[in-house]
Structures are given as C-alpha cells and as structure tokens.
Amino acid sequence: MISYFAYRHMAPFGTNSILTVDLGQQYIDQFAMFRHTLLAHPSSFFYSFSNALGGDMLSEWAYYLMSPFNLLFYLSHHNNYHL
C-alpha cells in the first residue's frame, strides 16, 4: 500500500486523497439518484429496482445521504437555480 500511495502521489506522499475514488465512483451517483428520486420519482424513495435486482433504499439513503448537511446543500443548490 505504501508503494501504491507513493506511486499515485497520495497523502502523505502528495496532495491526492484516496477519498476522491469514493467520491467519483459512489457518492456522485448516489446524489444523482437522490435528486432524481426527490424531483421526479418519489415512489423509489423506499424501494427501487435500481438497487441490485430490487431492494430497500432506506439503508442506502441512511448510509450515503441522510446527513442534515446534505439536505441543506441540496436545498441551497436547488434554490439557486430559481432565483
């Protein structure tokens, strides 16, 4: 791991972070689905066929998105488009 981090210039060997991988591969897609669920398809808030072969979404929202800061960010970002 140390040699991989050094090769990729990740902290403490550079300014990159391993968290950017999670951001690009997990959180951005979850935020997009959350936005789609709230604005266009609210019935998929509890259950969605996009979750593997179909499954409960509450655990997904709880794990990724249900921080009050995320909801405030969404509301402030959404309201900026309507000003």
Confidence of residue 83 (pLDDT cuts 50, 70, 90): very low
> pTM of the entire structure?
0.51
Question: Of 40, 45, 42, 36, which is closest to residue 66 (Cα–Cα)?
Answer: 45
Average pLDDT rounded to a whole number, residues 63-80: 70
The residues spanned by each domain of the chain are: 2-80
**CA dist., res. 30 & res. 63, Å (int):** 10
pLDDT 10s digits, 40-67 = 888 888 887 776 666 778 887 787 777 7
